[in-house]
Amino acid sequence: MSRLNRWENNRSAWLFLAPALVLIGIFFFLPVFASLLLSLTDFDIYAIADSANARFIGLRNYTGLLDNDVFWVAVKNTFYFALIGGPLTVAVSLGAALLVNARLTPLKSLFRTIFFVPFVTTLVAVAIVWRYLYHPQYGFFNYMLSWFGIDPLQWLGDPQLAMPAIILMAVWKNFGYNMLIFIAGLQNIPAELYEAAHLDGAGPFRRFRHVTLPMLGPTFLFVGVITMIGYFQLFAEPYVMTAGGPLRATTSMVLLMYEEGFRWWRMGIAASVAVFLFVIILAWTLLQFRLQKESA
């Protein structure tokens, strides 16, 4: 009876798993693996017509990218966005979480919802809205700057400012998600710790520094990893707001991959950009885990 049961269990388990595993296998893991192979070929528009036209060319796509200025610009822009935008988003998220979670805050769930709304909106739609908010002549941002006597800025038209403008929008769009996770993290900190710190004479700042921050360690790791993985994949914002310009100042790695692969159909080159991105994300994630372990 029990052996039969176990066998039955075993077979039905695989039936339960089959749809998910087959789909993920065929439509995710297989293409990921195929990307590695694709990056070693000169697959281009002729190969789209007939895949017999693709040839194996070893690592030439990779060496070609290393000699390609646009690629390095895209790498630089991607790091700029992730390294400035990521920490900024996490900081704003933590600030919002502390604000919503503060003892004196009324209507906590209302404010939580308000701060979370930008996150659920459609990125393409809000990117279009922000493009108008950044309008040099009629936009709200320049209007608000004028209150402080600051001359109008070109925002998305200025190669120096275009990326900061996109970062600002990304922070606005994404901080609500991390905020929810921080709120959950804050609520998991035992109240006794604060009471003990209070009795030891620690003020609000020192309680934050020595109780809140250390207790949020695992939350920071989770939020940091998720945010950075997402930010390295920057695509829709520059696609909609700047088309990668001006002067390539907002061309990200994924945008470059899209242009190479789906505009010019140079899929071999595009695949090698994708593999570079994968390596960067993997290395960065491992680094974050390592740093967390060392500081803990």
Partner 1 sequence: MKSQTATRVLLYCALAIGSLLALLPMIWMVSASFMQPGAANTYPPRLLPENPTLEHYRTLFTRLDLGQYLVNSTIVAGIATVLSTLINSMAGYAFAKLRFRYRDRVFRLLTLGLVIPVQVAMLPLFLLMRELGLVNTYWGVIIPALASIFGIFLMRQYAISIPDDLLDAARIDGAGEFRIYWSVVLPVMRPMLATLAIWTFLATWNDFMWPLIVLSDDTMFTLPVALANLAGERVQDTELMMAGSVLTILPVLIVFMVLQRYYVEGITVGSVKG
Contacting partner 1 within 177-196 (CB under 8 A)? 177, 180-181, 183-185, 188
Taking the mean position of all CA atoms in its chain, how far away is CA 205?
30
Residue 57 engages partner 1 in binding (rule: CB under 8 A): no
Helices 217-231 and 267-295, packing angle to 10 deg: 170
Q: What are phi and psi of 80, to 5 degrees?
A: -55, -50
Residue 133 engages partner 1 in binding (rule: CB under 8 A): yes
Residue 217 tokens, joined:
């360690």
Residue 73 engages partner 1 in binding (rule: CB under 8 A): no
Nearest to 257 by CA among 248, 268, 242: 268
Residues 248-267 close enough to bind partner 1 by CB under 8 A:
254, 257-258, 261-262, 267
Nearer of residues 104 and 296 to partner 1, judged by Cβ: 104
Residue 41's beta-bridge partner residues?
56
CB of 222 to partner 1, least distance (A): 5
Residue 235 engages partner 1 in binding (rule: CB under 8 A): yes
Which of helix, strand or coil describes residue 56?
Answer: strand
8 Å CB contact between 155 and 139 = yes
Residues 22-41 close enough to bind partner 1 by CB under 8 A:
23-24, 26-32, 34-35, 38
Residues 277-296 close enough to bind partner 1 by CB under 8 A:
277-278, 281-282, 285
8 Å CB contact between 248 and 70 = yes
CB of 281 to partner 1, least distance (A): 6
Residue 160 engages partner 1 in binding (rule: CB under 8 A): no
